[in-house]
Amino acid sequence: MTGQRFDFSKLIAERVPPGAAGRAAARARYDFGTGFPDPDSFPWQGLHEALGRALKDKGRDLVRYPDPQGHPELREFIADKLKRERGMTVHQDQVLVTGGSGPAIALFVQLLANPGDVLLTEEYTYVGTLGIMRNLKARIVGVATDQEGMRPDALEQVIRDLARFEVKPKMVYTIPSFQNPLGTDMGMQRRKDILAVAQKYSIPIYEDDAYEDLRFEGARSPAIGSYDDSGMVLYSGTFSKILGPAMRVGFLTAPEELLPRINAMHWGRPTSEFATLASLYYLRDHLDDHVDEINGILRTRRDAMIGAIGEYMGSVATVSHPDGGLYLWLGLPEGSSTVAASEKARARGVAYLPGPSFSPSGGGGNYLRLCFGYERPNAIREGIATLAEVFAQQGMLNTKR
Amino acid sequence: MTGQRFDFSKLIAERVPPGAAGRAAARARYDFGTGFPDPDSFPWQGLHEALGRALKDKGRDLVRYPDPQGHPELREFIADKLKRERGMTVHQDQVLVTGGSGPAIALFVQLLANPGDVLLTEEYTYVGTLGIMRNLKARIVGVATDQEGMRPDALEQVIRDLARFEVKPKMVYTIPSFQNPLGTDMGMQRRKDILAVAQKYSIPIYEDDAYEDLRFEGARSPAIGSYDDSGMVLYSGTFSKILGPAMRVGFLTAPEELLPRINAMHWGRPTSEFATLASLYYLRDHLDDHVDEINGILRTRRDAMIGAIGEYMGSVATVSHPDGGLYLWLGLPEGSSTVAASEKARARGVAYLPGPSFSPSGGGGNYLRLCFGYERPNAIREGIATLAEVFAQQGMLNTKR
């Protein structure tokens, strides 16, 4: 008994990032902040029933350590789904089942990025990916986008600009379908063009395909990975958007020679087979019906939110019109500060994420992301009306500034 | 389309370990190899029923991202259990729910160990921990044990010996209760003595308490952490041993100031709330009854295996007699090679892990670990009889060598 408090501060390893919050933010009255799907169509009864069947078949197996890469039947289901829906030819041994797509992102970034390495992303991209890249001390450079997402000419320009400083990026990270936060969707040619640039400069692509299931309009384009015969595309997907993020069931695929190294970093193999078996048995029977159901709901909510923005914010605000996904990208007049306004909005019960959260360089101060997935249409209208009041009070809805 | 195979080999980050197998080994006819509990008492119906109740209460919450440290009610349940059973005073905000104890081990080792740092363990210890430490390029030094596990005098001697080379260990990793693989169990005084040495030299302890629930004989000693008022003990536990490893529900506790950094390395937060809620609702109602049931089964199996070893291997073999846990530690005459014999045994349908797997230095060539948890008593007798034949053919059961 020393009575003295032990001091860990000098013992922390160099690899350890400075720290992350351990608390979830309190739920806002109008929650447009995080990418949650609709709680009313969450299929908990279907999942419970599916789990019951899975446990009757395989309950005894759960006392054993699960297959390190995930249950073979789920990996086969995923490989079939990728073949059918994404045009990709992937063997089940190239699939690793992960606890959502967050761990997949962390594994791919850890696989390639030494501290100081440069990684390319869209000019606005997923907050979680930026956090992982920053925590691993990578440098992130954004690439300009248009209505189809990352621009191939801009990608090539960035690569050439960096080459003048003898810097070669380690990875092109892209979300081609219903990009988070922009909502852009790459057509076939765009996907081929991005791949061609990456191949020309021998920089691997990481294709984050978290949102493709949530397509409620427009034709599906095959994955970038479907055009790659060289084995340079890393890929991940998730069931979080259709079965809920708390399930923690996602997956990655990679060239088979990389799996041993990825497995070695998949410390302790945290993916629950209880959750993966429930997901497998549920999705085998209900994938298409369930996806149709939630996409109908999401489409209605997208339209409700776009309509309310038009009604309450007028022509001053610009807003995306995505064919799928969960998000709208809202632009306000130059000089607006969506960061400053977010606290005021939160005080009025409305949560959103300001643009700079998504920017490698902290830009986009007059933009914000709104998730239309979680709230019902009435609440969406109320929340947007409140938000418009906050923005008006901040002088952000004036045409002249 | 290049036709050329992309070469990742020069792009792999320095932190990435060489690689781990992605396949589970085929199940042996007599599986004494891995630490599996009994499949017949795995409470899959109880868990399914508990999950149904949990989903009725909280199903809508599963569309939201779970609390980063794990569901608050489960963290409270864990804090209560640690208070009641382990004498530890831990706030729920010091608890992180993990996907089994493997991720907890990986987090603690990553937190403290730079490449080249020295970590101390018992002279034989958990294979998974050794793998993680080696993959993170730590150097591991084993500390001599007796029938109560790690010896305080040996611990102090190792610390002093290393100090002569200006090396200070970063961590004392110990499994005080039903040590894996030795089966040793520290009494109260031993726990205090180990803590006193660690405090004297200001080296944090990591107490891996994976097996304490599986106590079927002997009095429970409080955790080492219960005697520590300085905040130098890191601690982890797991429900894998009572609810099955495939559930992937375990936890760690640490001084509160360390949680932000640990959370930051808990990439993507892979722990399934589907599995944790089922575990919580099941354990709230059934913890004591279920533990009593499986401990009755394990005790019978321990006795069946010790009896069969005595009958078929005679007095040449030495064997541990643990008061709990899942493992026996079997010693054969000097010069025996349990590594060489393991392939022969596997060919006859018997799986075990040879001693060198557990040794930081690769020693213990005449020892092996047997798990008595998975097979029924009849199969245990048959498997041990077969194993004795293999050992006899290898000349390992001769008294004179």
pLDDT, one tens digit per residue, over B313-352 is: 988 999 999 999 999 999 999 999 999 999 999 999 999 9
Cβ atoms of B113 and B119 within 8 Å: the answer is yes
Burial class (CB in 10 A: 0-12, 13-18, 19+), B3: exposed
- The position carrying tokens 């040495």 is B197
Taking each helix axis from N to C terminus, what angle separates B44-58 and B273-313, rounded to the nearest 10 degrees? 170
Rounded CA-CA distance B111/A18 in Å is 11
As a whole-number percent, the residues of chain B with pLDDT over 90 amount to 84
Contact call for A260 and B114, based on CB within 8 A? no
What is the pLDDT, as a whole number, of residue A23? 65
3-state SS assignment for residue B364: coil
Number of Cβ pairs closer than 8 Å across A and B? 339
Mean pLDDT over the full length of chain A: 94
Contact call for B55 and A67, based on CB within 8 A? no
Cβ atoms of B172 and B203 within 8 Å: the answer is yes
| Element spanning B293, H or E | helix B273-313
Minimal Cβ distance to A65: which of B12, B24, B62 = B24
Greatest C-alpha distance within chain B: 69
- The position carrying tokens 């054969």 is B332
Amino acid (one-letter) located at B233 = V
What is the pLDDT, as a whole number, of residue A389? 97
Structure tokens at A115: 């501290």
* CA pseudo-torsion sign A169, A175, A181, A186: positive
Chain A residues with CB-CB distance to B259 below 8 A:
22
Rounded CA-CA distance A160/A79 in Å is 36
List phi, psi (to 5°) of A393: -60, -30
What is the pLDDT, as a whole number, of residue A21? 67
The residue among B175, B117, B136 whose CA lies nearest residue B265 is: B136
Amino acid (one-letter) located at A24 = A
DSSP, residue by residue, B44-83: HHHHHHHHHHHHHHHGGGGGSPPPTT--HHHHHHHHHHHH
What is the pLDDT, as a whole number, of residue A245? 85
Cβ atoms of B88 and B62 within 8 Å: the answer is no
- The position carrying tokens 């660690």 is B198
Where does the pLDDT of residue A182 fall: very low under 50, low under 70, confident under 90, or very high at 90 and above? very high
Minimal Cβ distance to B60: which of A4, A5, A42 = A42
Rounded CA-CA distance B168/B161 in Å is 10
**From the centroid of its chain, how far is CA B212?**
11
Nearest chain A Cα distance for residue B390, angstroms: 26
Chain A within 8 Å of B101 (Cβ-Cβ)? yes
Closest-CA residue of A relative to B104 is: A268
- Beta pairing partners, B31: B351
**From the centroid of its chain, how far is CA B159?**
24
What is the pLDDT, as a whole number, of residue B60? 78
Q: In CATH, what class is A30-43+288-393?
A: alpha beta
**From the centroid of its chain, how far is CA B184?**
13
Minimal Cβ distance to B68: which of A21, A63, A170 = A21
Rounded CA-CA distance B17/A236 in Å is 21
Chain A within 8 Å of B170 (Cβ-Cβ)? yes
Contact call for B6 and A230, based on CB within 8 A? yes
Instruction: Provide ipTM, 2 decimals.
Output: 0.92
Nearest chain A Cα distance for residue B353, angstroms: 15
Where does the pLDDT of residue A1 fall: very low under 50, low under 70, confident under 90, or very high at 90 and above? very low
In A252-271, the residues whose Cβ lies within 8 Å of chain B are 255, 257-261, 263-265, 267-271
Cβ atoms of A100 and A265 within 8 Å: the answer is no
List phi, psi (to 5°) of B288: -65, -45
**Domain extents for chain B?**
30-43+288-393, 44-286
Is A136 a residue whose pLDDT tops 50? yes
Mean pLDDT over the full length of chain B: 94
Contact call for A65 and B248, based on CB within 8 A? no
Structure tokens at B323: 């008061």
What is the pLDDT, as a whole number, of residue B22? 61
List phi, psi (to 5°) of B168: -115, 120
Chain A residues with CB-CB distance to B96 below 8 A:
22
Is B64 a residue whose pLDDT tops 80? no
List phi, psi (to 5°) of B286: -125, 0
What is the pLDDT, as a whole number, of residue A40? 84
Minimal Cβ distance to B274: which of A202, A232, A247 = A247
Structure tokens at A348: 């009025």
Chain B residues with CB-CB distance to A34 below 8 A:
64-65
Contact call for A272 and B267, based on CB within 8 A? no
Cβ atoms of A204 and A171 within 8 Å: the answer is yes
Structure tokens at A351: 């949560």
- From the CA atom positions of chain B, what is the Rg in Å? 22
Rounded CA-CA distance A139/B98 in Å is 29
Q: Identify the residue among B16, B48, B63 best suited for mutation to test binding to A, counting A beta carbons within 10 A and taking the highest.
A: B63
What is the pLDDT, as a whole number, of residue B23? 65
Chain B residues with CB-CB distance to A13 below 8 A:
110-114, 117
The tally of CA atoms less than 13 A away on the side-chain side of residue B57 is 12
Nearest chain A Cα distance for residue B111, angstroms: 6
- The position carrying tokens 């009255």 is A29
List phi, psi (to 5°) of A137: 65, 30
pTM over 0.80: yes
Classify domain A46-286 by CATH architecture: 3-Layer(aba) Sandwich (3.40)
Nearest chain A Cα distance for residue B235, angstroms: 15
Minimal Cβ distance to B247: which of A22, A62, A104 = A62
What is the pLDDT, as a whole number, of residue A376? 95
What is the pLDDT, as a whole number, of residue A104? 97
Rounded CA-CA distance A137/A113 in Å is 8
Structure tokens at A77: 């289901």
What is the pLDDT, as a whole number, of residue B77? 98
The tally of CA atoms less than 13 A away on the side-chain side of residue A336 is 28
What is the pLDDT, as a whole number, of residue B373? 93
Cβ atoms of A271 and A248 within 8 Å: the answer is yes
The residue among A262, A275, A269 whose CA lies nearest residue A94 is: A262
What is the pLDDT, as a whole number, of residue B265? 93
What is the pLDDT, as a whole number, of residue A399? 63
Rounded CA-CA distance A392/A319 in Å is 17
Contact call for A249 and B272, based on CB within 8 A? yes
Nearest chain B Cα distance for residue A335, angstroms: 33
Q: Identify the residue among B67, B274, B371 best suited for mutation to test binding to A, counting A beta carbons within 10 A and taking the highest.
A: B274
What is the pLDDT, as a whole number, of residue B181? 98
Rounded CA-CA distance A271/A249 in Å is 7
Rounded CA-CA distance A97/A110 in Å is 17
Mean pLDDT of A127-150: 97
Map chain A to HEC letters: CCCCCCCCCCCCCCCCCCCCCCCCCCCCCEECCCCCCCCCCCCHHHHHHHHHHHHHHHHHHHHCCCCCCCCHHHHHHHHHHHHHHHCCCCCHHHEEEECCHHHHHHHHHHHHCCCCCEEEEECCCCHHHHHHHHHCCCEEEEECEECCEECHHHHHHHHHHHHHCCCCCCEEEECCCCCCCCCCCCCHHHHHHHHHHHHHCCCCEEEECCCHHHECCCCCCCCHHHHCCCCCEEEEEECHHHHCHHHCCEEEECCHHHHHHHHHHCCCCCCCHHHHHHHHHHHHHHHHHHHHHHHHHHHHHHHHHHHHHHHHHHHHCEECCCCECCEEEEECCCCCCHHHHHHHHHHCCEECEEHHHHCCCCCCCCEEEEECCCCCHHHHHHHHHHHHHHHHHCCCCCCCC
- Beta pairing partners, B251: B97, B237
Chain B within 8 Å of A105 (Cβ-Cβ)? yes
A186 Cβ contact partners less than 8 Å away, ≥ 6 residues apart: A148, A149, A150, A176, A177, A194, A221, A224
Chain B within 8 Å of A55 (Cβ-Cβ)? yes
Where does the pLDDT of residue B401 fall: very low under 50, low under 70, confident under 90, or very high at 90 and above? very low
Rounded CA-CA distance A14/B243 in Å is 36
As a whole-number percent, the residues of chain A with pLDDT over 70 amount to 97
List phi, psi (to 5°) of B159: -60, -40
Is A194 a residue whose pLDDT tops 90? yes
Is A400 a residue whose pLDDT tops 60? no
Rounded CA-CA distance B62/A183 in Å is 24
Minimal Cβ distance to B106: which of A11, A27, A267 = A267
- Buried b or exposed e, range A172-195, using 16+ CB within 10 angstroms: bbbbbbbbbbbbbbbeeebbbbbb
3-state SS assignment for residue B331: strand
Task: Provide the 10 A C-beta neighbour count for residue B14.
Answer: 8
List pLDDT tens digits, range B354-388.
Answer: 999 999 999 999 999 999 999 999 999 999 999 99
Minimal Cβ distance to A20: which of B199, B260, B275 = B260
Nearest chain A Cα distance for residue B268, angstroms: 4
The residue among B167, B140, B154 whose CA lies nearest residue B359 is: B140
Contact call for A202 and B255, based on CB within 8 A? no
List pLDDT tens digits, range A340-368.
Answer: 999 999 999 999 999 999 999 999 999 99
Where does the pLDDT of residue B175 fall: very low under 50, low under 70, confident under 90, or very high at 90 and above? very high
- Looking at per-residue pLDDT, the higher value among B245 and A65 belongs to B245
3-state SS assignment for residue B189: helix
In this structure, which topology does domain B44-286 adopt according to CATH? Aspartate Aminotransferase; domain 2 (3.40.640)
Structure tokens at A68: 């390190």
Range with the poorest average pLDDT among A43-52, A239-248, B224-233, B378-387: A239-248
Q: Identify the residue among B53, B65, B130, B277 best suited for mutation to test binding to A, counting A beta carbons within 10 A and taking the highest.
A: B65
Is B192 a residue whose pLDDT tops 90? yes
Nearest chain B Cα distance for residue A282, angstroms: 14
